[in-house]
Every structure is written in C-alpha cells, then in structure tokens.
Structure 1
Amino acid sequence: MKLPAWIAALLTALLPACDMVNLPEIKPGITTQAEVRSRMGEPGFIHRNDDGTVTWEYSRQPAGVHCYMIRFDRQEIVAALDQVLTPATYARVTPGLTQDEVRRLLGQPASRQTFSNLGESVWEWRIEGDFPTEESYFSVHFDLADGTVRKAGQRIQPRP
C-alpha cells in the first residue's frame, strides 16, 4: 500500500524529532542491536566491515541533512554512533575513491545524476548550511569509466 504524499511528507518531517528522542538513548558499550532496531527501525543499509562487524546506516536524505552510522561490535553492542555529514568526513572524499567507499563514508545520497557528455556521475547530499535562506549540498563527481572520484565540493543555492 502506497502512502499519500502528504502522509509521507509528514512522516519525513517528524524523523528529526524522533532522532532527538532516540539518539541520546543509544549508548556505545551498552545498547544492543535489538534496542537500536526498536528505537530507529530497520537500517537503510547494512555495511559489512572487514573485521566481521557491521555498521547500520540511517540516512535522512533527501529531506534531512543527517546520516547516522551505528557501528556494532561482535557481541552486537553499539561500538560507535556518528553523524557522518560533517566537514571532517567531506575532507576524506578524495580523488580515486570508489562509489562504494564514498557510500560508506557519507551514506545514501539525496540524488544521483549521470552526465554522459561529461563522462561523469554526480552524487549529492543535502547538508547543513550557514544561513536559513540557502540550501547547501555536498557534491561528488565520479568518472563514468572507472567509477572513482574526480572531484568533490560544496554547492550553495538560494532557497526557493
């Protein structure tokens, strides 16, 4: 069953309020996977880490400006909870990274566009801006031939 657009918009608007209630209750070293699932719902994506642990992705894209990565230890207890859409994480996006590596760093993008004439694909994340009259985005340009980062940077536009 598909939700009417106004209900979907309302639910999306309420997610940040739910995050404000739920995130402070998630404690590294204490909270279990079952408790996280109960509070946050199913993750949008599960990243399998090289050491056999997992990281759950809770992206608030395209309407929100946050993406939470919750890493669990081998006992399925929260090891870390990070909001990854930050300048420190953007700085880690460098030429040569693959699309999978960027997805691990920043989570699901708000949009993906392919520009065949330029030989690139551009992923964008809506991010926190400095002024309420602007919308800010972090953009990553990938080479279509090899799928690696060509360049990345911030884009700002006036709010409609």
Structure 2
Amino acid sequence: MKRILAWLCGLLSALGITACDYINVKELKPGVSTSAEVRERFGPPHMEWRNEDGSLTWEFSRQPEGIECFMITIGPDQILRRIDQVLNEETFAKVQHGMNGDQVRRLLGKPASSQFFQLKQETVWEWRISRGPDGTNDPVFFTVSFNNEGRVTGTGRHTQFKR
C-alpha cells in the first residue's frame, strides 16, 4: 500500500499536482533516504547543481501554479542531506543587486514567468509565493528585475487581484 501511495504521489508530482509533496517531504529522512527514493517520490529534477563538497542539489519547482520550490541536496554517497523549500523570506533576502540570472535561479528555482518591458529595458522574473492574503484566492508574487546586462536591479512583490 505504501508503495502504491508513493507511486501515485510521484505520478501526480510529475504532472505538477503538489498535494503529495507534504507526504513526500515527511517520509524522506535526511541521513537515511537515498537519491533513488527522492527520484521515486519527486520524479526527475528540473535542474541539477554540483556543489563544491561533491554533493548535488536538485531543484523541484512547483511553478507556475504551485507556491513551492524544493531544493534537495544529495551527498556524494547518494544519501539525502537536506530538503529546503526556498520560496520564503529568508531566501528572498539573499537576492542582491548585481547577481546574474543563474545565481538567482540557484537560490529560488525556475520562475513562474519572465517578461521583458521594452520601455524600462528590463526583464522581470516572478514566482508565485502565496495563494492570497486573508484567505482570498488572489495570488501573490515575488519579483526580481534584471537590467540589459542580466544583472539584478531590484526585487518586489505584487498581488494579482481577481475581478
């Protein structure tokens, strides 16, 4: 039964349905679970980064409709080290002026959207971070603005009010 649930959650995650993420995160144990178990539960990572210590960090973004991005670190021994949900205030504060797009992607994962504004000559990436304040369904987004050289010029947030 547990194996069927894990398979179903993996399938739903691959389709972008995040209801099983809570179960997956709770059942994976840092220091115990293997990289194969992570892949079984989350599917293939959207991006993979090599870290200086020989570990890998896998990105599992739930954008554009979800509000989470998991960065999962796997040690050189193929054992899970940590699971971080990075769309949070602590990580947003790490985005600094002058960073490039790769550095921002490494922190926050793939954005929900990217748009170029001709008049301002800037590109804005946005991540959906909340389903809406005060129980509304109006989504809230965190944004990062880049200049023509691809460097961060600022961050912000906005609510997309539904009519």
Work out whether the TM-score is over 0.5: yes
Aligned counterparts of 2:100 and 2:109: Cα–Cα separation in 1:
13
Choose from 126, 130, 137 the match for 2:141. Answer: 137
Identify the residue that residue 6 of structure 2 maps to in structure 1. none
Deviations along 1:93-135, one digit per CA (max 9) or x if unpaired, are 1111111110011000000011233121100000024333221
Deviations along 1:25-81, one digit per CA (max 9) or x if unpaired, are 111111111110111111111112233221010000001000000011111111110
Q: In the TM superposition, what are the counterparts of 1:32-43 in structure 2 within 5 Å?
A: 32-43=34-45
Identify the residue that residue 4 of structure 1 maps to in structure 2. none
State the secondary structure of the residue aligned to 1:137: strand
Structure 1: which 5+ residue stretches go unaligned?
1-7
State the TM-score, normalizing by the size of structure 1.
0.86
Deviations along 1:1-25, one digit per CA (max 9) or x if unpaired, are xxxxxxx9xx43xx22211221111
Aligned counterparts of 1:87 and 1:141: Cα–Cα separation in 2:
17
Instruction: Check if 1:150 corresponds to 2:153.
Output: yes
What is the total number of aligned residue pairs between the two structures? Answer: 148
Choose from 42, 56, 59 the match for 1:57. Answer: 59
Q: In the TM superposition, what are the counterparts of 1:83-94 in structure 2 within 5 Å?
A: 83-94=85-96
Considering only aligned residues, what root-mean-square deviation do their CA atoms show, in Å?
Answer: 1.5
Aligned counterparts of 1:78 and 1:139: Cα–Cα separation in 2:
30
Decide which moves more: 84-93 or 48-57: 48-57
Structure 2: which 5+ residue stretches go unaligned?
1-11
Q: 1:50 to 1:117 in 2, by over 3 A?
A: farther
Q: In the TM superposition, what are the counterparts of 1:3-42 in structure 2 within 5 Å?
A: 11-12=15-16, 15-42=17-44
Aligned counterparts of 1:98 and 1:50: Cα–Cα separation in 2:
19
Instruction: Check if 1:103 corresponds to 2:105.
Output: yes
Aligned counterparts of 2:58 and 2:112: Cα–Cα separation in 1:
18
Aligned counterparts of 1:116 and 1:49: Cα–Cα separation in 2:
36
Aligned counterparts of 2:54 and 2:150: Cα–Cα separation in 1:
26
Please report how far the alpha carbon of residue 156 of structure 1 lies from its aligned counterpart in structure 2 after TM superposition.
Answer: 1.4
